[in-house]
Amino acid sequence: MPPVEYLNPDTSFKHWIASDLRFFRERDGRSLSQMALVMGCNRHTVSNIEHARDGWNMNEHQAERLDSCLRLNGHFQRLVRYARTAHDPDWFGDYAEREARALIIRTYRLSLIPGLFQTPEYARALITAFQMVEDIEAAVEGRMKRQEVLTRQKRPLVWVLLDENLLFRPVGDPQIMRDQLARLRDAAELPHVTIRVVPQRAGLHLGLDGSFNSLTMETGELVFVEAPGGGRLVQESGEVRDFGVRWDRIGASALPWDASRDLIIKAMEGFS
């Protein structure tokens, strides 16, 4: 097979893993199905990892099986470990795939409305202003599709902490902000969603370091820490616990649910 031309192992851990997986598979003359047996998955998973497709990432179990079978002295295990702890713009796809199956979602936002609650107009204004992608409408559609987690049959519990400043920060025109804050107000009324605001008068608090999400899965917990252009996944239990403490300490400074809702309404009225 010819190489996957768009892979760039020098700039992305995801692409590095994809490129090396294909290299070792072809070096040993293995088919996708044969490599799938080694990794303990199916051939489609191998193909998706080799092509670095969004939402498809090698896990620790697959890496361990590869290293053992191919005698690679922990090569793939190290790549996966560093990929999950390093800043990598490609790793959000892995987080989003897990978010869709999460039992509990916790999100803290310092500067912008969480993606799970953005209106199409608010999302479009952000994506356009930040020049994040070439196909803006596809990006907006993808963000709206991600919100389906809120209406799936087995809905997750969603806990949200917001810094007060983001409620008053204009994104787009006043109508966009009114509609966005109305969406946030309505979301706060949902039985499986709790939204609380950290007021300015709280002063310095741990949330000023930046935004993050945490997920509780059937198999454990993970955290996604945002950064410009990407972020990193945290799965090491000690660091996950540290973020749990951080969440609790930020929440200790937040307003109760009803006062938070009233503040959202006040902000919405300010854009009239």
Using one digit for the tens of pLDDT, what is the confidence trace for 179-198? 999 999 999 999 999 999 99
How confident is residue 87, by pLDDT bands cut at 50, 70 and 90? low
Residue with tokens 């310095």: 204
Q: By CB neighbour count within 10 A (0-12 exposed, 13-18 middle, 19+ buried), where does 154 fall?
A: exposed
Q: Are 222 and 215 in contact (CB under 8 A)?
A: yes
Query: 69 forms bridges with which residues in the sheet?
Result: none
> What is the token pair recorded at 161?
């902490």
How far apart, in Å, are the Cα atoms of 210 and each of 81, 161, 202?
A: 23, 12, 16
105 phi/psi in degrees, rounded to 5: -120, 125
Structure confidence by residue, pLDDT tens digits, 89-145: 555 666 788 888 999 999 999 999 999 999 999 999 999 988 767 888 998 998 999
184: nearest Cα among 126, 262, 239: 262
Dist CA 267 CA 272 (whole Å): 10
Q: How distant, in Å, are the alpha carbons of 85, 108, 250 from that of 196?
A: 29, 10, 10
Beta-carbon contacts of 202 under 8 Å, excluding residues fewer than 6 positions away, are 253, 254
pLDDT of residue 43: 93
H/E stretch holding 241 reads helix 237-251
Q: Is-above-0.85 flag for pTM?
A: no
